[in-house]
């Protein structure tokens, strides 16, 4: 008969089996077919985040004033970055518990539910499926915003040279041109596309400085803080759009050659986010200062329509956003196939099925963009929905359930933190999505009335 282990030794064994930190490092076991270098990851991460969100920041600042806009921008960026760190840490812990090299976000949610209290075990599979739907819907909304943005900007140029034309035709044209690019199935091969896109975007951002710095009014004519609190929810919806590409961020981390370099004080994520924060504040202040209460959902729609420089800016930025679609669509396709890709990877029709899903995704985003081409409302809805669900609720729930057996620290500070994230996520999600949906429904009624 084997001797019974000592209580202290048994407790240590149980702790090691729960965290698996001492006996399993998922980063050492992870293999990627075509890995990204840290530089590739940085470029792809900027491509995921910088785009229509930064161009909508002046509209966000219009709803808060300059001082409150800067304060809320910093607060929001800290909150979202912290929650992404919490999410990736939770997913890594799920890998250790299950001793697998990698898990998707839906799989991490399912594992967390299965490791939490007994009464939530039965909801694990359903929670994982719902997370998949939320991720896909978030990327779907992001890609729809991109199509509307591209159509609106090219329409202004087309109207000047060729006469009035419904912007819905530009949406359909963008979908046709995107078809071959969206068929690229490897993230590594999208890096050159992302590099060109970044070059075009920053070229357009550089040229647009001319219009931002010319004709500035007196600072006293712009609001600093005097906006009602109800307007703040609109700010958070628009501003969070620029850092709600959680699915894209996770895909980039999952495809890195050295994923341990992603987090940390000077990791790829923090450096990218700091750069994005400075860009958001700069464009928010200058765009609102220049155009004031007449600022549009994108400042490219405020610059003149009949000047060569302004047209060049619109072409550069709209083309850069156009080239961003394949990467963000890639994330949605990855999420759709992640849960059962191993079972179908060697299947005879796997590649064909993926192409069918890609074409369907592109067509559906085009149809929604044709039906409700309200750029501001779509941006606000996507930001509010993704912020509440992916950036706040999911990381908090994963952390609560993973720490259920091993404790929440002194004074249960981890539990308090997670509950606060859940409350903030629910309040913001309900209010923000309600305001955005109201705008979209009003816009859709107007569309039906003019058909």
What are the angstrom distances between the C-alpha of 355 and each of 58, 177, 333, 337, 351? 38, 16, 10, 12, 6
Distances (CA, A) of 428 to 310, 376, 399: 36, 17, 20
- Average the pLDDT over 194-217 and give the result: 87
CA–CA gap between residue 91 and residue 168 (Å, rounded): 41
Q: Give the pLDDT band (50/70/90) at residue 229.
A: confident
Distance CA 412, CA 135 (A): 30
Across 38-47, 207-216, 283-292, 392-401, which has the greatest mean pLDDT?
A: 392-401
User: What is the pLDDT, as a whole number, of residue 339?
Assistant: 55
Phi and psi angles of residue 304, each rounded to the nearest 5 degrees, phi first:
-55, 150
Cα(253)–Cα(261) distance, integer angstroms: 9
Q: Which helix (H) or strand (E) holds 353?
A: helix 350-371
The residues spanned by each domain of the chain are: 35-450
CB atoms within 10 A of CB 292: 14
When mean pLDDT is compared across 12-26, 31-45, 83-97, the lowest value belongs to 12-26
Q: How many helices (H) and strands (E) does the chain have?
A: 20, 0
Flag whether pLDDT at 358 surpasses 80.
yes
The CA distance from 104 to 110, in Å, is 10
pTM: 0.80
User: What tokens does 56 get?
Assistant: 């909508």
Q: What is the mean pLDDT of residues 150-157?
A: 90
Q: Is the per-residue pLDDT at 402 higher than 90? A: yes
Q: Does domain 35-450 have CATH number 1.10.10?
A: no
Q: What percent of the chain has pLDDT over 90?
A: 21
């Amino acid at each position: 008969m084997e001797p019974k282990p000592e209580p202290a030794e048994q407790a240590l064994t149980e702790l090691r089996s729960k965290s698996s930190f001492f006996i399993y490092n998922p980063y050492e076991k992870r293999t990627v077919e075509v890995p990204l270098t840290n530089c590739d990851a940085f470029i792809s991460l900027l491509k995921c985040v910088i785009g229509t969100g930064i161009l909508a920041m002046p509209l966000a600042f219009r709803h808060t004033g300059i001082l409150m806009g800067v304060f809320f921008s910093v607060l929001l960026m800290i909150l979202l970055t912290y929650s992404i760190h919490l999410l990736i840490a939770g997913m890594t812990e799920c890998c250790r518990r299950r001793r697998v090299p990698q898990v998707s976000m839906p799989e991490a949610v399912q594992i967390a539910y299965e490791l939490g209290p007994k009464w939530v075990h039965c909801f694990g599979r359903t929670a994982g499926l719902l997370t998949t739907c939320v991720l896909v819907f978030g990327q779907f909304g992001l890609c729809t915003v991109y199509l509307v943005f591209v159509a609106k900007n090219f329409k202004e140029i087309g109207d000047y040279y060729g006469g009035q034309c419904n912007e819905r035709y530009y949406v359909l044209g963008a979908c046709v041109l995107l078809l071959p690019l969206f068929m690229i199935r490897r993230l590594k091969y999208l890096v050159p596309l992302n590099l060109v896109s970044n070059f075009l975007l920053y070229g357009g951002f550089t040229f647009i400085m001319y219009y931002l710095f010319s004709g500035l009014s007196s600072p006293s004519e712009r609001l600093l803080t005097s906006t009602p609190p109800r307007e703040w929810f609109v700010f958070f919806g628009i501003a969070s759009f620029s850092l709600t590409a959680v699915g894209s961020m996770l895909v980039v981390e999952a495809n890195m050659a050295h994923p341990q370099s992603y987090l940390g004080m000077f990791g790829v994520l923090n450096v990218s986010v700091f750069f994005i924060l400075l860009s958001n504040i700069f464009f928010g202040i200058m765009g609102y200062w220049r155009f004031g209460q007449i600022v549009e959902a994108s400042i490219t729609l405020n610059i003149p329509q009949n000047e060569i420089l302004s047209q060049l800016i619109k072409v550069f930025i709209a083309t850069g956003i156009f080239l961003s679609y394949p990467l963000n669509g890639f994330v949605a396709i990855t999420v759709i196939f992640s849960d059962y890709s191993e079972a179908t990877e060697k299947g005879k029709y796997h590649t064909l099925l993926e192409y069918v899903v890609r074409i369907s995704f592109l067509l559906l985003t085009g149809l929604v963009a044709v039906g409700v081409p309200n750029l501001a409302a779509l941006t606000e809805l996507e930001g509010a929905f993704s912020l509440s669900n992916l950036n706040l609720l999911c990381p908090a729930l994963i952390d609560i359930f993973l720490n259920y057996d091993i404790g929440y620290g002194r004074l249960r500070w981890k539990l308090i933190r997670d509950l606060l994230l859940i409350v903030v996520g629910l309040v913001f999600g309900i209010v923000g999505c309600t305001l955005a949906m109201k705008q979209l429904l009003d816009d859709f009624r107007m569309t039906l009335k003019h058909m």
